[in-house]
Copies of this chain bind each other. A is one copy, B any other.
Amino acid sequence: MVPARLTVVTIGARDIASLREFYARLGWEQVIELDDLATFQLRGALLCLFPLDQLADDGRVEPASPHAGIAASLAINVDRRDEVDEALEGARTAGARVTKEPVDAEWGGRTAYFADPEDNYWEIAWVPPDSSMAAAIARATASA
């Protein structure tokens, strides 16, 4: 058995200084701030930024080569449908590259996507409060 947890997401940063500034511009609180580590206090999992070469060294693997395409996404779940639009505007103002303007999804929610300056992808999502996804998120996070 492996404990069923996803507590920290660490992004391997090519330019940690500028990436740190981007996430700070989202209004996110930095709780650990070192030259080579930024940790942002989120609800759900924490976000860490760590230089890519150091991340690779730490994991005993090669660093990925730069690639602009999407391999995974990180989601910010919001409480109201129209908060998707508000949050996306906040990200755009901070310098995010918007790849998908807010759209009502066929499954009943509303979503948008943006990329940070190093092409890490975020989804802003509202899911109906009576959905199994909403219940699972509430169980996972401190919002339960």
Which residues of A line the B interface, CB within 8 A?
A: 1-12, 26-29, 31-32, 39-47, 52, 55-56, 58-65, 67-78, 83, 87, 90-91, 94, 99-100, 111, 113, 115, 120-121, 123-125, 132-133, 136-137, 139-142, 144
B70 touches A59 (CB 8 A): yes
This chain: copies in complex: 2
Smallest CB gap from A98: residue in B? B60
A125 x B8 contact (CB < 8 A): yes
**Given known A3-B83, A77-B5, contact A100–B64 (CB-CB < 8 A):** no
A64: which B residues are within 8 A, CB to CB?
Answer: 67-71
Given A59-B73, A142-B144, CB of A29 within 8 Å of CB of B42: no
A118's closest neighbor in chain B, by CB? B71
Contact between B65 and A67 (Cβ–Cβ < 8 Å)? yes
